[in-house]
Amino acid sequence: MNITRDQIDELNAVVKVEIAKDDYREKVDKILKDYRKTANIPGFRKGHVPMGIVQKQYGKAVLVDEVNKLLQDALGKYMTEEKLDVLGNPLPKNQEEFDWDADDFSFEFDLGMAPKFEVNLQPKKAVVSYEIEADKKMIENQVTTIQKQYGKLSPQKEVAKDSEVTGTFFNDEAGIENTTTFEVAALKGKKNTDAFIGAKVGDIITVKTKGLFAEARDFQNAFKMSQDEANDLNAEVTFTISEINKREAADLDQELFDKLFGKGVVTSVTELKDKIKEDAERQFKQQSDQQLLNDVTERLIDETKFDLPSEFLSRWIQSTGEKEMSLEEAKEEYDRSEKGLRYQLIEGKIVQENNLQVTFEELKAYAKEMIKGQMAQFGQLNPEEKELDDIAARILGNQEEVKRLSEQLMHQKMLDFFKENVKLKTKKVSFDDFVKEVYN
C-alpha cells in the first residue's frame, strides 16, 4: 500500500491511496473460505460448495467490503500520523466508473485543510461590557406592579378608565377565539379607550387589532401569538365582556412582604426596593453577559481574517446533507453557515491554546452545583455529598445531558476568558437604555 499527498494550495490537497492485491488477498481468501464452510446453496452439502461458486456469488461483495475497510483505516491513520488539520471529511474523486475487476486499486480523495491564523484579543476599539442598573423608575414601576398583582378585585357595573376587563376576542376567519384579561389603560388611543368606557357585562365591542394596545406584550397576551404574527395581523374582532373589575392596590405591609419573600426576610419598603433592585440586576447580568459574548463573538469573526476552502466545503455539505441537494443549494447552505464555521475555528483555537477544554471533573462539579440549586428551590439546602454524587452520576450517564451541560460549561468558560483577556469598556446603563442600544 502506498499513500501520497499532492498539496494543491494551503487549503486544498489530494491524497492518493494505492492498494495492491497483496494488501487484501489474504483477508478476502480467509473470509471466502469461512463462507464456504457455512454457505447454504441448493444442490451442495454444507461445507462442500466448490470455491468457484462461492467466489462467483460472494467474491465481489467481500472484496469491496474489505478494500473499503482497508482504505478507511489507512486514510485515518495517515491523517493522524501526518497531523493533518482537515475540515469535514475526505471526499472521494472519480468514483463513477471505478473498476472493481482490477487486481490493484487507486483511490483519490480531496481534503479541505483548516486555515492557519492568529486571534487578536485586543482589538483597536474596545468591546462594550454593559452593566445594567435598575433605576428608580423601574423599581417604582415594579412596586406598583406588585401592589396590583396582590391587590383585591372589586366588581364594577360598567367599564371605567381604571378597570380590568375580562372577555373573549373573536374572529372566525382569522382563527381568533381567546379569553383574556387586560387593563383599559393598556389600550392605545382615545378611539379604542372610548369603545370600552361605559360598557357592561355581556356587551359586545367591535375593534380593529392594529394599534389596539400600546405595548406589544399586551397584544401578544390578548391574541396568543408571536411578535411576528402580531405584526402581520390587521383584523376586525369582537370582544364579549364577561367581567369588569377594579383592582385595589395591596398595602405595602409585613403581610405582603412575607408573602413575597418569606417570613421576616424583608421588613420595610426600603428593604423591598433593595430586594427588587438586587433581583432585577441579577437577571440583568445574565442578559448583559450574553450580549457581551455575542459582541465579542461578532468582533472576533469580523477581525480574524482567514480564507476557507469554500468549494470543498460546499461539496462536503452536498454529500452529507440529510436530503439530496444540488451543488447550488449546497453553496447557499455554506453561505448561511460560514459565519458559524468561522467562529467554531476561532473558538477551537482559543480553547486549545489556553487549555480551556471541559474536563470530566469540571463537568461533574458543574452538574452538582446545578443539582444543589434545584434542590434549594424545594427547601433542601444541605444535601449530602453522596446524594449529589449519585444524582450527578445518573445525569452524566445520559449522553444528551452530557452534551447539554458541556455546552453550558464551555459557554461559561469562554465568557470568563473573554472578561479577563479581551479589551473591554464598561458602560453603566438603565435597562431601557440597554434595550435601545442593543435592539434598536
Q: What radius of gyration do the chain's Cα atoms show?
A: 34
B/e letters for 99-130, b = 16+ CB within 10 Å, e = fewer, are: eeeeeebebbbbbbbbbeeeeebeeeeebbbb
CATH says 2-113 is which class? alpha beta
Per-residue pLDDT tens over the stretch 149-203? 898 989 999 999 999 999 999 999 888 899 999 999 999 999 999 999 999 999 9
| pLDDT for the residue numbered 227 | 67
Bridge partners (DSSP) of residue 14 are 6, 110
| pLDDT for the residue numbered 241 | 96
- Check residue 251 and report its DSSP letter: P
DSSP 78-99: HHHHTT--EEEEEEEES-TT--
Residues of the chain with CATH 3.10.50.30: 152-248
First-to-last alpha carbon distance for the chain, in angstroms, is 62
CA–CA gap between residue 360 and residue 366 (Å, rounded): 10
| pLDDT for the residue numbered 299 | 94
CATH of domain 152-248: 3.10.50.30
- Cell match 421576616: residue? 264
Query: Could you give the angle at which helices 269-303 and 327-353 cross, rounded to 10 degrees?
Result: 110
User: Quick one: residue 175, left, alpha or beta (phi over 0 = left, psi -120 to 50 = alpha)?
Assistant: left
Digit-by-digit pLDDT tens for the chain (440 residues) are 999 999 999 999 999 999 999 998 999 989 988 888 877 777 777 777 788 888 888 888 999 999 999 999 999 999 999 999 999 999 998 777 788 888 999 999 999 999 999 999 988 889 999 999 999 999 999 999 899 889 898 999 999 999 999 999 999 988 889 999 999 999 999 999 999 999 999 999 999 988 899 888 888 888 887 767 777 788 899 999 999 999 889 999 999 999 998 899 999 999 999 999 999 999 999 999 999 999 999 999 999 999 999 999 999 999 887 788 899 999 999 999 999 999 999 999 999 999 999 999 999 999 999 998 888 878 787 888 999 999 999 999 999 999 999 999 999 999 999 999 999 999 999 998 998 998 87
| pLDDT for the residue numbered 38 | 78
Q: How many CB atoms lie within 10 A of CB 187?
A: 23
SS3 264: coil
Residues whose CB falls within 8 Å of the CB of residue 360, separated by 6 or more in sequence, listed in order: none
269: cell is 419598603
